[in-house]
Amino acid sequence: MRTRLRKWSLLLGAAAVLALPLTSWAQLTQFDLAKTLNAESHVGNVTGHAKDAAAPYRRYCVGCHGPLGDGEGENAPWMDAPMYQKPRNFQLGVFKCRSTPTGTLPADQDLYDAITRGFDRSNMPQWNTLTKQERTDLVAWVKHFSPRFATEKPGAPIPIPPEPEVTPERIKAGREVFARVQCWKCHGVQGMANGPSASTLTDDLGRPIAPFNFTDGSRPKCGDTDQDIYRIFMTGLDGTPMPSFADNIKPEEAWDLVFYLRTFMSQKSKEKELAKQLALKPVDPNAPAGQQ
Amino acid sequence: MRVSKYPRLRKLVRSATSALFAALFLVPVVLTCSRPANALPAFARKYGLRCSACHESWPMLNYFGQKFKDNGYQLMNDRDAPIWQNPGYWPVTFRMTPMWHRVSTGKVDVDTYSSGGLTGLSAIQRVTSSGFDLSGLDFHTGGTLEKNFSFFLLPSSDSTGAFHFETVMARLDNLWGSSWLNVKLGKFELDNLLSEKRILTLTGNGGIYQLYHFIPVGDGNIFGQMGDNQLGVEVMGHSWNDRTRYSAALLSSNDGTTQLAYGNAYTGFFTFSQAFDTGKAGVQRLGFYAMAGDAPTTWITQGGGASLYPGGALGGNAATGNKSFSREGFVGQFYFGPHLDLQVVTQHGEDSAWFGQGFGDLIDGVATGNNVTGTTLPVGAQNPTWNGVLLEPHYVYSPQLIFIGRYETIKMSQQANGAGYLGVGPTGITGASPSNLGNITTYTIGYRYNPFMTSRAGFAWHNEYNWLHSDGTGPTPGSNINTSELLLGFDFDF
């Protein structure tokens, strides 16, 4: 009798331990999602309604993001890192490309821009052929998947000071910032995504993820204007190992870093020309701090 | 009135009731089974998108699919090159349609018999044929050879298995990094916004756009057929969201025939269109097209009573005496919310009077005239001209269920045999042709239901009815012909 009791206790205990991680994130159901169908979004003067996006979502998005927005669409099993990235799980309410500080929800405009721009090196195309109304409706639909949008407000967009003139001094200063905050650890000293940590990176869900390679002609995921690049390292890419450097880099230093990163990129630019004239060498990870 | 007193009526009422119940049962089943559409094979397998992402209803493209095509079958996500694909990926789709088909044609010349033997005379009567049939087989293979190098190859057979190359083209995309410059070379579909190659209907008369193939009765110009794939080079460009598009193509005037047939004649085809975001209604597009070119009327390597071109294997430069033709019109794609749209194409066409008199090459491959030195046009010969319009509304219940309608009418505005013409016209009428000779009116209705579509295969239950009326083309002078077709089939691809 005692043996049987012990066996059952062990079994139940094991089951409880195994079930513990499941409580950390509860999958929402269609029933739960029906309660948030009144979600709205506002982009410019257009108001989006989640309920109006059910058909477009089914037509364009559900194959990857799934009917529950959990990123488990029918094609998700075939998208494997590092070649592809898994579709976003909207239920988590965590988004890479934001104008808002790290840890906060994105603005509606951020989600709208993501739908419009798509994501390079992923299966998310540019949906700019859809009407503005359809895209704004889809923003509301994306929001209706996550309970975060019902309880939290999006963060305030970070301020971006006017872009200064590119000078040789600013590029050199950007190189120092690149060395100081150790961008090279992931992105490599020449921006080729081959830093010592590159092969170990995983996202918040434990999936392998590669740092951005500045040299292969790819466009940065969250936009390729100077403002977009500035925004990326001041807001971070939530859910990935790319943190926000808002507390470590001053705004003028951030612009310096933008200019330095441009020197890695294959596209022609004034920064590249200046770097050539300066005969800039890559940072030396083995040199003492401040002399890299 | 008591039904029971009238057995035939009772039977009729019972049949009608059964039919009504069947309809009441089937319609909800069809509607409720319209689940989300999955992906179309060749490209869907590559990109993991459902077919509904690119197709309003397969195979007709929506705006996103049009942009994908305009980008050279690329999503422009830096993962378009085949090097990013699993090496086992093979970009091929097979498509075929087994069907039941009924064709009924009025006023057909049929044999007459007497005492078990042919009388040698004919009679006019309606002929109806029905039975099971097959479409041809299409091998669609296309995609990218490398980023910004795309291709499409379509070996296609008729229903007997005889193959030809329907499409063979390679394309340089986004030259100098600009979406405004793309160059295509080979045999390809003209840049028709309402694509006949993606038509939603399959019958003989309804499975083509009459406007894209119209030739006046007796006219010898087969070269102005916008619906046929043509050999040539095309430059096209578009804005980043595809709202603005243009294309300019230089084509050989040979209706897609290889081996430098028909000599040195060229045709230009130009399009421009602009789309407008109209909010909840959708994106509306307006555009125009123009086709203008020359085509030969003189065959210089024949003689001695040899059969006229293209009966024999003639080399290049075998034809001269180029005469002109043109087709131009407007295109509109209008959307009225998420379910209803209307596609509109208009056309004004004109052929040289030489074509109007049968010089050139008839569509059946037998030329009726050779414009040799000294040939003159008969009195009263003039350029045939016509006007036409095509209206095609769709009701898209879901990407899996679409209802299709079409109305086309083409009216001759000037006959080739005008006032003063004294000869015998193509249908045996002496003197000027009747003003309505060759006019066409056609209606098509149908629906396509896709009970499933996956990223590996597609399947449509296709039902269609077409009716076509043609003025003055019957076997007796001045008589009209009505033809109707019914087609029920399984249109599948994988």
**How confident is the model over B445-494, as pLDDT tens digits?**
999 999 976 667 889 999 999 999 999 999 888 899 999 999 999 999 88
Is the pLDDT at B340 greater than 50? The verdict is: yes
pLDDT in tens, B240-298: 999 999 999 999 998 998 877 777 899 999 999 999 999 999 999 999 999 999 998 88
Mean pLDDT across chain A: 90
Identify whether A126 is part of a domain: yes
Q: What percent of chain A has pLDDT over 70?
A: 90
**Which of the residue ranges A79-88, B18-27, B279-288 has the most confident prediction, judged by mean pLDDT?**
B279-288
Which of B75, B78, B240 is facing A218, going by the closest CB pair? B78
**CATH number, domain at A39?**
1.10.760
pLDDT tier for residue B315 given thresholds of 50, 70 and 90: very low
Give the C-alpha distances (Å, rounded to integers) separating A1 from A4, A5, A172. Answer: 5, 6, 77
Q: Which of A87, A122, A151 is the last residue of a domain?
A: A151
Is the pLDDT at A34 greater than 90? The verdict is: no
- In angstroms, what separates the C-alpha of B378 from chain A's closest C-alpha? 54
- The Cα–Cα gap between A153 and A137 comes to 18
Q: Which residues of B touch A124 (CB under 8 A)?
A: 77
**CATH number, domain at A188?**
1.10.760.10
Q: Which residues of B touch A218 (CB under 8 A)?
A: 78
Task: Tell me if B48 and A55 make a contact (CB, 8 A cut-off).
Answer: no
Which of B39, B64, B84 is facing A83, going by the closest CB pair? B84
pTM of the model: 0.86
Q: Do A121 and A222 sit in the same domain of this protein?
A: no
Is the pLDDT at B33 greater than 50? The verdict is: no
- Report the chain B residue with the minimal C-alpha distance to residue A132: B279
Q: Do A116 and A33 sit in the same domain of this protein?
A: yes
The reply to whether B438 touches chain A by the CB within 8 Å rule is: no
| Short-list B255, B252, B269, B288, CA closest to B190 | B269
Identify whether A83 is part of a domain: yes
Q: Report the pLDDT value the prediction gives residue B116, as an integer from 0 to 100.
A: 84
Helix (H, G, I), strand (E, B) or coil at B146: strand
- The Cα–Cα gap between A53 and B339 comes to 13
Is the pLDDT at B309 greater than 80? The verdict is: no
Q: Which of A102, A126, A151 is the last residue of a domain?
A: A151
Domain ranges of chain B: 14-41+97-135+195-232+240-493
Q: Do A213 and A110 sit in the same domain of this protein?
A: no
Residue with tokens 């690149």: A178
Task: Tell me if B49 and A63 make a contact (CB, 8 A cut-off).
Answer: yes
Exposure string over B57-71, b if 16+ CB within 10 A, otherwise e? bbbbbbbbbbbbbbb
Q: Report the pLDDT value the prediction gives residue B169, as an integer from 0 to 100.
A: 97
- The Cα–Cα gap between A138 and A132 comes to 10
CATH number of B14-41+97-135+195-232+240-493: 2.40.160
- Name beta bridge partners: B230: B188
Interstrand relation of B283-295 and B440-449 (parallel, antiparallel or unpaired): unpaired
Identify whether A9 is part of a domain: no
Task: Tell me if A132 and B277 make a contact (CB, 8 A cut-off).
Answer: yes
Is the pLDDT at B373 greater than 80? The verdict is: yes
Exposure string over A254-289, b if 16+ CB within 10 A, otherwise e? bbbbbbbbbbbbeeeeebbebbeeeebebbeeeeee
Phi, psi of B418 (to 5 degrees): -90, -165
Torsion B58-B62-B68-B72 (CA) sign: positive
Q: Do A172 and A142 sit in the same domain of this protein?
A: no
Phi, psi of B326 (to 5 degrees): -155, 150
Give the C-alpha distances (Å, rounded to integers) separating B392 from B154, B348, B395. Answer: 26, 18, 10
Identify whether A53 is part of a domain: yes
Number of structural domains (chain A) is 2
Beta-carbon pairs below 8 A across chains A and B: 99
Q: Do A112 and A73 sit in the same domain of this protein?
A: yes
The reply to whether B47 touches chain A by the CB within 8 Å rule is: yes
Residues 190-219 of A with CB under 8 A from B: 217-219
Q: Report the pLDDT value the prediction gives residue B303, as an integer from 0 to 100.
A: 52
The reply to whether A126 touches chain B by the CB within 8 Å rule is: yes
Q: Do A131 and A235 sit in the same domain of this protein?
A: no
Identify whether A141 is part of a domain: yes
Torsion B122-B126-B132-B138 (CA) sign: positive
Q: Do A34 and A134 sit in the same domain of this protein?
A: yes
- Report the chain B residue with the minimal C-alpha distance to residue A80: B86
Q: Which of A95, A124, A151 is the last residue of a domain?
A: A151
CB A79 within 8 A of CB B67: no
Which residue range is the domain that position A84 belongs to? 26-151
Is the pLDDT at B31 greater than 60? The verdict is: no
- The Cα–Cα gap between B464 and B392 comes to 14
pLDDT tier for residue A80 given thresholds of 50, 70 and 90: confident
pLDDT tier for residue B29 given thresholds of 50, 70 and 90: very low
Q: Do A103 and A217 sit in the same domain of this protein?
A: no
- The Cα–Cα gap between A149 and B485 comes to 56
CB B226 within 8 A of CB B253: no
The reply to whether A127 touches chain B by the CB within 8 Å rule is: yes
Exposure string over A101-117, b if 16+ CB within 10 A, otherwise e? bbebbbbbbbbbbbbbb
Q: Do A249 and A185 sit in the same domain of this protein?
A: yes
